[in-house]
Amino acid sequence: MTIDFEELGHRFQSDVLEGARVAKPSQGSSLRRPSDPSHKAHSFKNFRFVPSKDDSNKLDVVGLEIHEIAEVLRDQSGGWPKRVGRALFVPSADDRPLWFESAKAATQLFAWIDGQCKVNWKTGSDKVSQDRFYAYLQMDAEAFDVVESYSHYPPVPGAYYMHPDLPESDGSYLEELLDFFSPATPRDRQLIKAFILTLVWGGPPGSRPAWVFIGPREDDDRNRRGVGKSKLVEMLSGLVGGFMSCSVRDKIQDITKRLLSPKARSIRVALLDNVKTHRFSWGDLEAIITSPVISGHEMYKGEGRRPNTVIWAITLNGGKLSKDLAQRSMIVRVARPVYSGNWEAETRTFIEEYRWHILSDAVQLLKSRMD
């Protein structure tokens, strides 16, 4: 079956905005910021002094219960650390999560605590060891599904957002970003804007379409190469931390394993680049696009799960989509751009300099559609 890309583009052009218009903000997942405890203002210890039973003039050292120690740490650190699964994390100075996962994780945790307050830790049969306390926090610390370094609106339930506050913005930065690209029509410009909005849309997992980028109509009998489809995805995904590259030759189990790895858990874009098959159909991909949860083998841990907020971007060179995949896709046609040797550097510089203004524009537009 041959798919009419233009018809599909018209049919899907407003789906993301319409979905945002009816979506409801998630409850209880607003941005949480760590407190700023006074440096070394308190002592953090695993014991207390009590009057001696043998001599009232002396004091005995008695170990604290493990839950008491955890409560003290939460009070003194502003609620840290938190966890995703059994992996503990705290905020670093650059608004990124600092994870305690290595073989020396307990030592790293106590080094971090020692930077917050003076650690005074004793050994003994009734004293909680540092390793046991670390293991307890792996079960007891406040739990989240994922740590997000970039905005979502509405916030995704179960996500912890760790990023700078968004600046005030008027929508101009988003429009200026769109001027760097070459959509085939004004309608395709709106579709590229909708793709950016999808990057920050916090709607239900499994509800994001795939995005298929094709070349200009006059290239239909050629292979539509060299028009900047891949660069468009690369640049725009850079707004929210970049993309994970995949191939049609990859097994879905391997892709799932990568998406569940610590470094890819917060990746929002998966790119299938330069698809050349005459008729592109991948049943596993069609299933994962609409699945609310990504589950599979997580390295060294067994079964892993994460909410499916992944956005699939496909650049297509002369092929056709199967009916099932086309029904899950938004089609964007780009024009052949006028060559400029400075375009890539200028685009990257604009995104890096005004990232949070652009994301603020996108969030404000989504809010306006939902109100």
Domain identity same for 18 and 47: no
Domain identity same for 125 and 265: no
Domain identity same for 12 and 103: no
Render pLDDT for 43-89 as a digit per residue (tens, 0 to 9).
899 999 998 887 777 899 999 999 999 999 999 999 999 998 889 99
**Contact criterion met (CB below 8 Å) for 116 and 77:** yes
Q: Bigger pLDDT: 111 or 283?
A: 111
Render pLDDT for 307-330 as a digit per residue (tens, 0 to 9).
889 999 999 887 678 888 888 899
Across all residues in the chain, what is the average pLDDT? 84
Return d(Cα 311, Cα 290) in angstroms, integer: 10
Q: Bigger pLDDT: 128 or 146?
A: 128
**Contact criterion met (CB below 8 Å) for 331 and 238:** no
Distance (Å) of CA 27 to CA 31, 48, 151, 155: 11, 40, 16, 8
pLDDT value of residue 247: 84
Whether residue 6 is predicted with pLDDT greater than 70 in this model: the reply is no
**Contact criterion met (CB below 8 Å) for 258 and 244:** yes
Domain identity same for 10 and 119: no
Domain identity same for 203 and 54: no
Last residue of some domain: 126, 161, 196?
Answer: 161
Domains identified in the chain, total number: 2
In three-state secondary structure terms, 273 is strand
Whether residue 34 is predicted with pLDDT greater than 60 in this model: the reply is no
Hey, which of 16-25, 293-302, 314-323 has the most confident mean pLDDT? 314-323
Torsion angle, alpha carbons of 356, 361, 362, 365, to 10: 160
Return d(Cα 82, Cα 40) in angstroms, integer: 21
What percent of the chain clears pLDDT 90, i.e. is strictly above it?
54
pTM confidence score: 0.80
Q: Does residue 30 lie within any of the structural domains?
A: no
Q: CA angle at residue 340 from 337 to 346, to 5 degrees? A: 105
Render pLDDT for 184-208 as a digit per residue (tens, 0 to 9).
999 999 999 999 999 999 999 999 9
pLDDT value of residue 33: 40
Last residue of some domain: 115, 134, 161?
Answer: 161
For 232-260, b/e burial (b = at least 16 CB within 10 A) is bbbbbbbbbeebbebeeeeeeeebbbbbb
Q: Does residue 195 lie within any of the structural domains?
A: yes
What range defines the domain where residue 88 resides? 43-150+157-161
**pLDDT interval class at 22 (50, 70, 90):** very low
Q: Does residue 31 lie within any of the structural domains?
A: no
**pLDDT interval class at 23 (50, 70, 90):** very low
Whether residue 4 is predicted with pLDDT greater than 80 in this model: the reply is no
Return d(Cα 109, Cα 186) in angstroms, integer: 53
Domain identity same for 110 and 234: no
Q: Does residue 197 lie within any of the structural domains?
A: yes
Q: Does residue 36 lie within any of the structural domains?
A: no
Q: Which residues contact 318 (CB under 8 A, 6 or more apart)?
A: 220, 222, 223, 224, 276, 278
Check which CATH number belongs to the domain holding 228 and give it.
Answer: 3.40.50.300
